[in-house]
Structure 1
């Protein structure tokens, strides 16, 4: 894709700043509220009578809802537009939050969690689709890495907000109502802010004359003459037809992306379990995991810089090698004398790898999506990546139960290295 048609004054910083009111701001608010509630879902479920296993199942309903919501979200964005889909998703999520806060028993609470996950999928896909069609290719990766970074910021700060609210109100429901306030602000920002679909038109290919329009992949110049015959329209393909049409890229690059999502998700499960397994106290584990998360967050924009300047592979490959190699190396340190030191060191390595991967899944999905109607494709893409993330904790749990946590950690490392090979094989060397 040639971006030489962009005006000279169109700088990355200016455009990214203008995206704030309709993309980055709502993302921070949504993630901040969600991050405040997520750690308390098992706690509230237990208060409603769930045992440990059932509480974990209720917490997983958020991921299940997100998985189930991606394909319908692709359909909704293609027909309603990004802005309206975000507003509807935020409003329905607000209804789910109210039900969650007032839930009289566990079943109603679980359904509300499922609904919020469904809405989170629609909200996320609408942002992804908007950025795919509106951001010039020259700084697409930076824009999407920043999108991923704003989400990480909200999820990182959210638990601290929840802890402060618990200290003041001594009631877990305070965090739920805080999520509701965040959703109200999100919907207002989306509806009352600048209309992204009017302010940012999708960029036209270079060499197109003024007034040209794209029709089924070809450009037609508006000559001002009367049109005879039927009016040409852009054909929109459904979600499943799009999935079949792009089955090749989804089956290759999409599976590689799912492996990255799996390794990321495994990191969140393995590190706390590893700390418990080697006998560390909760405070030390939280400190190590927190430092790893801080390193991860600090690198999110660097990932976008690398992808825009040198290519997508230069971020994807080091990220997967670091995380895969880090998991494998960690798996051999469980019974060593300095196991706590090795744990802290490889947690930092995993944080670096995860930070370098910020925005990769969003960027690769945007690169592979059709330019005129990306939402149905992105629904399939995000379903694959979310499935990878949802499967990893189950895989770690099953292998650890059948063998040891060290074996499970090594297996996830192997998944990371195989994913690195898949990225090397299938990531395009250019995005034209």
Structure 2
């Protein structure tokens, strides 16, 4: 009797690598580009705020915009992604991210190098809010796509690699931002962020398959629609648990946001 053929020991690992590499142009490379641009901007926000006439404590408070959107943004961002699909949500917010950085460069540069006023301060605050919301959609959209694109046995590895790419971007970004500032342009970090966001958006538009995470509205035959009262109770229970988790993670998010803010102010 002949024994059945076995896969080589490295066959499964090789296939796993192929799956992860196939996600590089649609998920991992855009994530690296986005976080490189965002991490280049974050340490410069308080410095630009000081140049625009904010007090030191106001400059530090500005970066809480990103922390608040991380806390309050997942629910509306998730609904937006589920309604229009991951690809369309990522491309639209990517374009918005590019435009907001270009507007920030054109509007804020005269204020930083000239006589800043309330118009520059309000513009700065509004554009930071737009960037924070767009970044939130980008993060959730790619995580949602990974949840469907990766097989269950590879999700932990894929999500871990996603987090590792974010950390790599957080290392590269400040170095690029420091290089731009060394060339004599503090507001040049907006151009840097616009370029990285544009490159990531183009990669998503080209390589991310449309409709991967868009839910279907059809129900299986025989499935009953739950009663509105029971459904509302379930929604309240889920929201209460999410609120508790959010409150627990809020101090961690605050610490993560404050880390790249306090050091530039002390410097």
TM bracket (short chain): 0.7 to 0.9
Q: Greater helix share, 1 or 2?
A: 2
- Please state if 1:50 is matched with 2:39: no
Determine helix, strand or coil for the equivalent of 2:63. Answer: helix
The structural deviation recorded for 1:39 is 0.4
Matched residues in 2 for 1:248 and 1:122: separation?
22
Q: Please, which of 14, 31, 35 is the counterpart of residue 31 of structure 1? A: 35
- Please state if 1:96 is matched with 2:111: no
Cα 1:269–1:40 shift into 2, 3 Å: closer
- Please state if 1:40 is matched with 2:44: yes
**Matched ranges for 1:302-313 at <5 A:** none
Determine helix, strand or coil for the equivalent of 2:195. Answer: helix
Cα 1:273–1:106 shift into 2, 3 Å: closer
Question: Structure 2, unaligned stretches of length 5 or more?
Answer: 1-11, 109-119
The structural deviation recorded for 1:67 is 3.6
- Please state if 1:191 is matched with 2:191: no
Are the counterparts in 2 of residues 65 and 116 from structure 1 also a CA contact under 8 Å?
Answer: no
| Counterpart position of 2:139 | 124
Are the counterparts in 1 of residues 45 and 63 from structure 2 also a CA contact under 8 Å?
Answer: yes
- Please state if 1:82 is matched with 2:71: no
- Please state if 1:246 is matched with 2:260: no
Are the counterparts in 1 of residues 40 and 193 from structure 2 also a CA contact under 8 Å?
Answer: yes
Are the counterparts in 2 of residues 33 and 182 from structure 1 also a CA contact under 8 Å?
Answer: yes
Matched residues in 1 for 2:217 and 2:76: separation?
26
Are the counterparts in 2 of residues 96 and 116 from structure 1 also a CA contact under 8 Å?
Answer: yes
* Cα displacement string for residues 215-270 of structure 1 (whole angstroms, at most 9, x for unaligned residues): 64x6x7xxxxxxxxxxx9x99x9xx9975352475367x36xx6456346537758
Q: Please, which of 51, 58, 75 is the counterpart of residue 71 of structure 1? A: 75
**Matched ranges for 1:12-411 at <5 A:** 12-104=16-108, 105-168=120-183, 170-195=184-209, 197=211, 216=219, 243-244=235-236, 246-247=238-239, 250=242, 254=245, 259=248, 262-263=251-252, 265-266=254-255
Are the counterparts in 2 of residues 97 and 176 from structure 1 also a CA contact under 8 Å?
Answer: yes
The structural deviation recorded for 1:12 is 2.1
Are the counterparts in 2 of residues 22 and 193 from structure 1 also a CA contact under 8 Å?
Answer: yes
Matched residues in 2 for 1:272 and 1:80: separation?
34
The structural deviation recorded for 1:110 is 1.0
Are the counterparts in 2 of residues 40 and 172 from structure 1 also a CA contact under 8 Å?
Answer: yes
Cα 1:249–1:132 shift into 2, 3 Å: farther
Are the counterparts in 2 of residues 66 and 120 from structure 1 also a CA contact under 8 Å?
Answer: no
The structural deviation recorded for 1:147 is 0.7
* Cα displacement string for residues 326-354 of structure 1 (whole angstroms, at most 9, x for unaligned residues): xxxxxxxxxxxxxxxxxxxxxxxxxxxxx
Number of residue pairs matched? Answer: 239
The structural deviation recorded for 1:60 is 2.0
Are the counterparts in 1 of residues 90 and 138 from structure 2 also a CA contact under 8 Å?
Answer: yes
Determine helix, strand or coil for the equivalent of 2:73. Answer: helix
TM-score (structure 1 length as normaliser): 0.48
TM-score (structure 2 length as normaliser): 0.75
